[in-house]
Structure 1
Amino acid sequence: MATTALGTALRHWRDRVSPEAAGLPAGGRRRAAGLRREELAQLAGISADYVIRLEQGRATSPSAQVVEALARALRLTADERAHLFRLAGLHPPGPGTVPRHITPGVHRMLDRLSGTPVAVFDAAWNQLLANPLYTALMGEWRGRDLNGVWRNFVTRDSRVRQTPESRGALQEALVADLRRTADRYPADQALRALVADLRRHSARFAQLWDSGAVAAHDSGRKTIDHPQIGPLTLDCDVLGVAGSDLRMMVYTAEPGSADADRLALLGVVGTQSLDVAG
């Protein structure tokens, strides 16, 4: 059976990550303490067959997106992530690209905030990671809908209650923030492609982009209409990660409020639904 340094490294890193550390149930008897291939595939959003082919050396040229997803799922350090890119025959992302590496410390924060909806976004508003309660609250997105700007301008897929005025203000803030990101990372091809696609698919985005405004999208109070729990009015805070350009979006309820009770109920009902669906 063929093997490669890439496959050997993937198996080594998979073996050292426990399912509990990755937010997965341990589930019955296991031959090893680490992740199963199917679990790594689930966390990285790729097929289990592709993980097998990578480990066995039958697939040796994964895309940068797949390598990035594997690095996040395996909770690699910055140096390990760079090594994984090189093993895949790719150059690690340079300083002119949007940072997408999630440090082990950020992973641990999400693990410890299991009772709080938290998601991690890069500076271009791509969702990189979300804990189960955040997914239960906001819904599970895939593909282009993982980008918050795309959702707000193209698919309009959101449980957040909005008036025409609040939607307009949010769109203005998102475009201004994305422009600031584009100015900081002029070499990021994925970001340039995102902006070009947004301009093609949304006249509103193109109009705002051409206005040249530069600003940051920060915090707010939002009402989320959940299909099972009903409306929850929560504080939404966007926190920067020190030493990176990642943003953590955190939703909290006022202690003792009806919204806090609904959020606690969602932690039971919503995450059970996700387990069944998965």
Structure 2
Amino acid sequence: MDGLGGALRAWRERLTTADVGLPSFGRRRAPGLRREEVAALAGVSVDYLVRLEQGRARHPSAQVAEALARALRLHDTERDHLLHLAGLADPQPGLVPTRITPGVQRLLDRFGDAPVSVLDAAWNLLAWNPLWAALIGDPSNWHGRDRNLVWRAFTDRPSRVVLTDAEHEQWRSGLVADLRLVLARYPDDPSLAALVGELNRTSEAFAALWATGGVGVQAAARKTFLHPDVGHLTLDCDVLVVQGTDLRVVAYTAVPSSADAEALALIGVLGLQTVS
């Protein structure tokens, strides 16, 4: 297992679909997961994963390296080795934690009937399960700032969430107040400071809310979605904070036996495919 490429191949080949919560369809010609499956789990392109495994790309970003470690279900020592092979140092104290613990990863794997995602304290999307992607829209094409929910809220990125004007303002106000608390906890994180600075320069609405000095925690709420094939459905949204990591686990659930529950189940069947 020489170099980053060899390590990635070896880790991929030892996994089964059952290890990562994917369905299995018959025997496979080669052991382990397919590159397409690992790429989807990590939210990277198949071409980029191929280049990493073949040694044509050697220095993934910290975000990509962490995503690969999660997708490959690496334990702590292996994850540290991956960072070393990629030429990345472990995050320094005082930065917003982005590492998903094995326990949180197991939650993602087991919540197959509920859309679940994991975000860091600064509202950067780190990981999600297939049903979350099917409900929200495939986030694997979101890169950089587009994976930050505050950025998306203030730069009018497409969203399937249906909000009234009042709900939209309340949502954005809550995000800004929450982000101010996060900045107070992590004042030395340059990425977080850059996000706040860029939002202040880019969005007049954000700048106005930031100037008020309000602080608070973004509360959970019921949310209505407009899915392109299923139509409207309303779900309960719960935000669970993982103690010791500041990770946010966001889960959507429907009232049992309701029309919304039936709609969510249909979305699970459709996955990311669209009905023509």
Q: TM-score, normalised by structure 2?
A: 0.88
**Equivalent in the alignment of 1:237:** 238
Residue type at the aligned position of 2:193? R
**Equivalent in the alignment of 2:59:** 61
**Equivalent in the alignment of 1:200:** 201
Deviation per CA, 1:132-188, whole angstroms, max 9, x where unpaired? 111111212312332211121102422222112111111111011111112222232
1:240 shift after superposition? 1.3
> Does residue 71 in structure 1 map to residue 69 in structure 2?
yes
In 1: Cα distance, 2:53 partner to 2:147 partner: 28
Deviation per CA, 1:62-100, whole angstroms, max 9, x where unpaired? 322221221122122334322221222221112211111
Residue type at the aligned position of 1:185? Y
**Equivalent in the alignment of 1:150:** 151
In 2: Cα distance, 1:184 partner to 1:247 partner: 15
In 2: Cα distance, 1:121 partner to 1:106 partner: 11
Q: Write out aligned runs for 1:14-93 (5 A).
A: 14-93=12-91
**Equivalent in the alignment of 2:261:** 260
Change (3 A) 1:58 1:246: same
1:28 shift after superposition? 4.9
SS in structure 2 at match of 1:96: coil
Contact 2:138 2:272 (8 Å CA) reproduced: no
In 2: Cα distance, 1:42 partner to 1:131 partner: 10
Residue type at the aligned position of 2:10? H
| More moved, 232-241 vs 23-32 | 23-32
Change (3 A) 1:111 1:64: closer
Contact 1:77 1:103 (8 Å CA) reproduced: no
| More moved, 136-145 vs 30-39 | 30-39
SS in structure 2 at match of 1:248: strand
Q: Write out aligned runs for 1:6-21 (5 A).
A: 6-21=4-19
> Does residue 105 in structure 1 map to residue 103 in structure 2?
yes
Change (3 A) 1:44 1:258: closer
In 1: Cα distance, 2:40 partner to 2:264 partner: 26
Q: Write out aligned runs for 1:173-212 (5 A).
A: 173-212=174-213
**Equivalent in the alignment of 1:130:** 128
Give the number of equivalent residue pairs. Answer: 273
Contact 1:4 1:56 (8 Å CA) reproduced: no
Unpaired runs of 5+ residues, structure 2, are none
SS in structure 2 at match of 1:273: coil
| More moved, 52-61 vs 252-261 | 52-61
In 1: Cα distance, 2:44 partner to 2:256 partner: 39
**Equivalent in the alignment of 2:273:** 273
> Does residue 222 in structure 1 map to residue 220 in structure 2?
no
**Equivalent in the alignment of 2:93:** 95
1:11 shift after superposition? 2.6
| More moved, 236-245 vs 52-61 | 52-61
Change (3 A) 1:263 1:18: same
In 2: Cα distance, 1:263 partner to 1:17 partner: 29
Contact 1:4 1:55 (8 Å CA) reproduced: no
Contact 2:161 2:226 (8 Å CA) reproduced: yes
In 2: Cα distance, 1:232 partner to 1:48 partner: 32
SS in structure 1 at match of 2:20: coil
Identity %: 57
1:32 shift after superposition? 4.0
Q: TM-score, normalised by structure 1?
A: 0.88
> Does residue 115 in structure 1 map to residue 113 in structure 2?
yes
Unpaired runs of 5+ residues, structure 1, are none
Change (3 A) 1:38 1:226: closer
